[in-house]
Structure 1
């Protein structure tokens, strides 16, 4: 069995490589045109390098070299990641259309499924285990593509996506260690190196950012957390399986689902961008950039806490937790005015109470 101390070493190696490579990545991005241009959807006011994902990837690779994990799935995960990384790099330089990006994501997901990583069932309170059968592969591909895009969509403010991913990965890491350290070595390995490298990136990305992660980073992190969440951690939990990662990732998942519904209701393409995501709504209420990010962090921590409690409670308590989560998501839907209700009354009420952040 690998000594736990090697994971500590790998964490710091990932962190240091991510931090150390960042100045070179920034110079490279500016020199060769990997920059985020200003437009009506952007929050930033100047041209920004957007290749920070490369430092995240370099840090993760360095950490993996330290641990040298052994897994039958490693080649498939790596090949899928390579497809995602190449797609992200091309998009950060030339901007790919939605069809090309989706095609690449599906290809990466198919590689993962081909390596044997699948979601064969979901276990629900009261109704028991539900086998997906012939739909196992389709469900797995949809999960990987969906989570990959959810992280990509929430990457709208300095430090937002990186922080949400770090919170989710930290939750998965803690649950893996508590459940069985020896049985979840691959999950622990990937989580540790990604947390380290992402934290290194956040040192340069938290407001005011010096660099963005770009699609190279957001697609890679989304893909990584999608794969990690189905590697087997929650299949050993008697009562619950896929529900747990859904709760952990409730913020990006709900934001993505509501974005799709919103665009359908507005008769727009589901791939068309807008400024109605949760972070845009908070900014519209007058909250500062930093405060908005912290609020979303708080929501992520809330759902991560629910997920950890969820795996160690009775069925009825679990149902209460699910209800609490659904109520929170419903309040979020009301907040963003998803079904045509204006959030102006909410904004005006907050102003009258003097709760606006004027920083």
Structure 2
């Protein structure tokens, strides 16, 4: 759910004259189309803040196995290449989607000249494709044909690829909400079928005396839980949206926290299998973060492209996959604290108890340029109702700061509960 308004079908000619179409293809207006330059200065600041701690922990603070560190750094180098490829491909893809009338108008700028600009839609497809290419190429450098992790790695990519396809179909066909809730369940099937990890949970120490077990095997119930986690993560980013940069911003902040968590777990453990599980998570998170930052360069306020549901469901599925295969689903849910809160606020409208409009966005005042909260149950609107009207850019920055605080809270919680809770 992005801050966009798609053109009505009546505004698009269904049977254009062939001669007119040929003329339009070569008109100066079509060839002169250019996106606004990417905001690389802002991206440099954001990436420095988010990536510096991860690289410091990996290269200096912890003693990480040389071969494992080599694989992570190779993956980081390929991810950097993916960043530049995505940066170059977005303007090209934007031209193609505009030719197919896939564009929207920014509702949060309605009544201003920016609100009348046709913004290319569904550019998340570029991120998804480049991500898959980087992840597939990385297999050559890290996995052997008899690797135990190769099957799960490819199953993870199959699930992510499936979700990219379904997300793009949603952007084109505008799939109803009830269908969106079901689609991730099918997308996770390749991963769940190939999953060969444990299906046990560690009982919290305060509850061991009551349960009588320290480790409980859930069997198929654990796989059901993984499927539900994927459904939640995939849809939670999609409904916590509506501002320029918010969808990608929450993804890169959470991805940075996932990277830091994985390196910390690798550095504090001596179990090789445990190392591989968290390294597996890093292998998928680094390209997600790099390609997302490239798209953020165009999507940061004022946005020149819209990411579409293609990106939101892809990002959610990827983070669900790394949480499942990295065996830190509890930690992932705490990282997703703003999304959990937004889901709980949205539940009455999503369940149909309260009327749910198509766009649950704040109200924009063209005279002041500020957003005002509506009665809709979203974190965006609740924040505006509590703290007053704000500009779109300021509101997005505040919400991303809240996302970062939620991740920091998770690390503090794990620190204080270590040795007592588990």
Shift of 1:67: 2.5
Shift of 1:122: 6.2
User: How far, CA to CA, are the matches of 2:344 and 2:259 in structure 1?
Assistant: 26
- Name which of structure 1's ranges 40-49 and 60-69 shifts more when overlaid on structure 2: 40-49
For residues 25-73 of structure 1, what are the alpha-carbon distances to aligned partners after superposition, in whole Å with 9 as ceiling and x for unaligned? 1111111122235679999834422222122113313432452253221
User: How far, CA to CA, are the matches of 2:265 and 2:91 in structure 1?
Assistant: 39
1:227 to 302, 309, 321: 321
Closer, same or farther in 2 for the Cα pair 1:87/1:263, shift >3 Å? closer
Partner of 2:398: 295
User: How far, CA to CA, are the matches of 2:391 and 2:196 in structure 1?
Assistant: 41
TM-score (norm 1): 0.77
1:91 to 161, 170, 173: 170
1:135 to 221, 239, 247: 221
2:129 to 34, 58, 63: 58
Closer, same or farther in 2 for the Cα pair 1:40/1:202, shift >3 Å? closer
User: How far, CA to CA, are the matches of 1:171 and 1:197 in structure 2?
Assistant: 17
- Name which of structure 1's ranges 119-128 and 142-151 shifts more when overlaid on structure 2: 119-128
The unaligned stretches of length 5 or more in structure 1 are 235-241, 320-359
TM-score (norm 2): 0.66
Indicate conservation of the 8 Å contact 1:83/1:104, yes or no: no
Indicate conservation of the 8 Å contact 1:16/1:59, yes or no: no
Partner of 2:280: 186
Closer, same or farther in 2 for the Cα pair 1:50/1:193, shift >3 Å? same
User: How far, CA to CA, are the matches of 1:107 and 1:161 in structure 2?
Assistant: 23
Give 1 or 2 for the bigger CA radius of gyration.
Answer: 2
Partner of 1:338: none
Partner of 1:33: 101
User: How far, CA to CA, are the matches of 1:130 and 1:161 in structure 2?
Assistant: 36
For residues 230-286 of structure 1, what are the alpha-carbon distances to aligned partners after superposition, in whole Å with 9 as ceiling and x for unaligned? 11343xxxxxxx3311111111122112201355584447x9763431223445631
User: How far, CA to CA, are the matches of 1:155 and 1:92 in structure 2?
Assistant: 15
**Is 1:149 the equivalent of 2:149?**
no
User: How far, CA to CA, are the matches of 1:38 and 1:154 in structure 2?
Assistant: 16
For residues 141-198 of structure 1, what are the alpha-carbon distances to aligned partners after superposition, in whole Å with 9 as ceiling and x for unaligned? 1110111000111121111011111111111111111211742221111111000000
User: How far, CA to CA, are the matches of 2:204 and 2:359 in structure 1?
Assistant: 34
The unaligned stretches of length 5 or more in structure 2 are 1-66, 144-149, 209-214, 268-274, 362-375
Partner of 1:249: 336
Indicate conservation of the 8 Å contact 1:52/1:214, yes or no: yes
SS of 1:230's partner is: helix
The number of residue pairs the alignment matches comes to 311
Indicate conservation of the 8 Å contact 1:125/1:315, yes or no: no
Closer, same or farther in 2 for the Cα pair 1:274/1:261, shift >3 Å? same
**Is 1:108 the equivalent of 2:209?**
no
Closer, same or farther in 2 for the Cα pair 1:35/1:131, shift >3 Å? farther
**Is 1:73 the equivalent of 2:159?**
no
